[in-house]
Structures are given as structure tokens and as C-alpha cells.
């Protein structure tokens, strides 16, 4: 397991802040309220370990398949339905949404190999990520990747806790399946908008792994 580069600053700040708090507490209360100092130290260590875990990149064998759309994120499938895309395609699409809890790995990966033909950031609200309107009203970043077999929109969506969406792609860029496309900090959601008729290989509430699970077949 390695730590994602997006986590270096957050981990360092959390460690310094909690370290300073504990030093001050032990300095002033260490002789009179040692139990309280010990309890806060324990909680501080747990918090730092949680933050480190949030930015982890576990070692795993990634799935490469030209006929498959691979999960862009870890999490649970919360939506499989037909919808109308008002942002880019302006027609009916098949939506598959993956909810990422704070405990999930938050690296986002390219679901297919192809060319980035659309990339746009949208300001918005911070509704809980499983809210039906989060796809269109929350802060989000949309990317369309196209190849000779399919054209899909990947939407990174902020949740109630996620306050920063990172996207590494640019229009005209050639990308490879399962390579990093971005990162969302602290709880969020990723939507896939696929052509109607695409064969879906996952079920509602199924847990999926980014870069590993086959979401659909083209």
C-alpha cells in the first residue's frame, strides 16, 4: 500500500495539529488529569490513522479489457437507471452511480481507454452524495471519454463532506483504462452515463473496486 500524493499535506497538517494539542495537554494536565490526556492521545492516533487510510492506494491487479467499462471508483452501486443527460449528450443515457463512503479508497480511474473530448467543472451544492439531485446540483466535474466502441461521461460529484474534487484530465488527452483520472476528498460519488442498451454487469447495492470491477460490456 502507498499513500496518494493528494494526502501528503492533509496528513502532515493533521499530525502537526494533533501533536501540538497533545503536547499542550500533557504539559498542563499531565500530572492532574493523566487519564484525559491518554484518552485524547488515543483518539488523536485513531484520527491520524483514519486520514492515512483515506489516502491509501492498495496494491491490486487492475482489469484491462477493450470490451469492458471498468469501475472508476471503489464503493457501492446506488443507481442503475435510464436518465436524460442535459449537460452533454442531450439525450437518454443509462446511469450507473457509485457511492464512496469515507472508508473507501478515493482514487478515481479511467473506465475506458480513449480520448478526452469534454472536461468541465461545475460549482454547486453539497447535498449528501446519495441524494437523487446530487448528480445535477452538487459541485461536480464532468469528463467525456470516447473511443471506437463507445462514448461515456464520467461525473465526479462532491458530497456533504467532500469539499475538493481533483481532476487530472484535459481535452484532447489520450488516456488509458484504469489510470488515475482524479481524486475526491472525504466521501462522494461517481456517475457513469453510458449509451442506452449497454449491458450492465453489476447489481444495485453491489460493492465494486475501482480499476477492477467490470461495470458494463460494450
**Which residues participate in catalysis according to the annotation?**
188
Contacts of 140 (CB under 8 A, 6+ apart): 121, 122, 124, 155, 156, 157, 158, 165
Handedness of CA 189, 190, 196, 202 (dihedral sign): negative
Give which of 152, 166, 161 is closest to 107, Cα–Cα: 166
CA distance 36 to 49: 20
Q: Rounded to an integer, what distance in angstroms lies between the CA atom of residue 91 and that of residue 83?
A: 8
* Through-space distance between the first and last CA atoms of the chain, rounded to whole angstroms: 32
Distance of CA 147 to the CA centre of its chain: 23
DSSP bridge partners of 108: 182
Amino acid at each position: 500500500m502507498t499513500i496518494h500524493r493528494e494526502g501528503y499535506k492533509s496528513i502532515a497538517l493533521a499530525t502537526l495539529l494533533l501533536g501540538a494539542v497533545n503536547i499542550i495537554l500533557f504539559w498542563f494536565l499531565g500530572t492532574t488529569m493523566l487519564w484525559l490526556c491518554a484518552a485524547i492521545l488515543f483518539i488523536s492516533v485513531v484520527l491520524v490513522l483514519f486520514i492515512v487510510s483515506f489516502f491509501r492506494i492498495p496494491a491490486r491487479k487492475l482489469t484491462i479489457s477493450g470490451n469492458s467499462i471498468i469501475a472508476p471508483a471503489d464503493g457501492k452501486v446506488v443507481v442503475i437507471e435510464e436518465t436524460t443527460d442535459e449537460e452533454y449528450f442531450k439525450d437518454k443515457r443509462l446511469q450507473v452511480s457509485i457511492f464512496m463512503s469515507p472508508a473507501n479508497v478515493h482514487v478515481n480511474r479511467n473506465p475506458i481507454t480513449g480520448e478526452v473530448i469534454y472536461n468541465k467543472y461545475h460549482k454547486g451544492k453539497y447535498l449528501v452524495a446519495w441524494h437523487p439531485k446530487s448528480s445535477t446540483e452538487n459541485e461536480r466535474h464532468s469528463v467525456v471519454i470516447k473511443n471506437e466502441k463507445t462514448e461515456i461521461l464520467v461525473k465526479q460529484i462532491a458530497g456533504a463532506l467532500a469539499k475538493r474534487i481533483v481532476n487530472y484530465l484535459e481535452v484532447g488527452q489520450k488516456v488509458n483504462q484504469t489510470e488515475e483520472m482524479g481524486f475526491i476528498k472525504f466521501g462522494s460519488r461517481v456517475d457513469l452515463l453510458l449509451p442506452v442498451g449497454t449491458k450492465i454487469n453489476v447489481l444495485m447495492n453491489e460493492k465494486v473496486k475501482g480499476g477492477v470491477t467490470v461495470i458494463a460490456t460494450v
